[in-house]
Amino acid sequence: MTVPESALVFDTGPLRHFSNKGWLGVLRFVAGQRPVYIPDSVESELNEATEYVSATRAVLDAEWINRHRSTDLDYIEAFAHLENRLVVGRKNRGECGVLAMGQIYKCEVVLDDAEPRTIAAEKCIRVTATVPLLCEAIRTKQLTTVMVEALADDLLESKYYLPFGRGGFRSHVLENGLLDWDEL
């Protein structure tokens, strides 16, 4: 299975938290015409999460999210190499699949965790995170700053890690050059 370079490949965290707080449609909207994929390792993590939070089922039922299941040797080797580096117990298998897809298919990956982002940079994998993705949606006028602030605060309530606290979206993106005043 070939994945287009234009694809966005999501890790478990953003999908799980957006769906649990009712914001999954925002990710679909922000992706626009870009195809969205998850590797089978993320699908497995999401299936496990449905045992605790049923709203996660919305991700698995979403027709706009493509599943990647591959027996391609290059993909399997990339996954295995990443698995040796990242997996602890049952954690981080999703990140391995996301990174392997980015490495093999040259598509952009959506990861929020520091260590997988570091690996992506080392391997020259195109990577973004939740906050820059939302900032791009503000910049292109797909979403308003007020809406994204509410969304970010909602995600924080669900114990999702973002690099700022409640009410801190605007100051964070300005301080880190993700948006300019005139874009807010």
The pLDDT tens digits for 14-49 are 999 999 999 999 999 999 899 999 999 999 999 999
Residues 180, 6: Cα–Cα separation, whole Å: 26
Residue 70: strand, helix, or coil:
coil
Q: Once rounded to an integer, what is the mean pLDDT over residues 56-63?
A: 93
Contact 41, 97 (CB under 8 A): yes
Residues 98, 79: Cα–Cα separation, whole Å: 9
Q: Which CATH class is domain 8-128?
A: alpha beta
Q: How many residues does the chain have?
A: 184
Where does the pLDDT of residue 63 fall: very low under 50, low under 70, confident under 90, or very high at 90 and above?
A: very high
> How far, in whole angstroms, is CA 41 from its chain's centroid?
14
- The 10 Å Cβ neighbour count of residue 88 is 7
H/E run at residue 110: strand 108-110
Residue 80: strand, helix, or coil:
helix
Res. 61: pLDDT tops 70: yes
Residues 116, 12: Cα–Cα separation, whole Å: 13
pLDDT score at 1: 66
Residues 6+ apart with CB under 8 A from 159: none
* Residues in a beta bridge with 128: 110
Residues 6+ apart with CB under 8 A from 72: 1, 104
Give the residue extent of every domain in the chain.
Answer: 8-128, 131-183
> How far, in whole angstroms, is CA 37 from its chain's centroid?
10
- The 10 Å Cβ neighbour count of residue 166 is 12
The predicted model scores a pTM of 0.92
pLDDT score at 141: 93
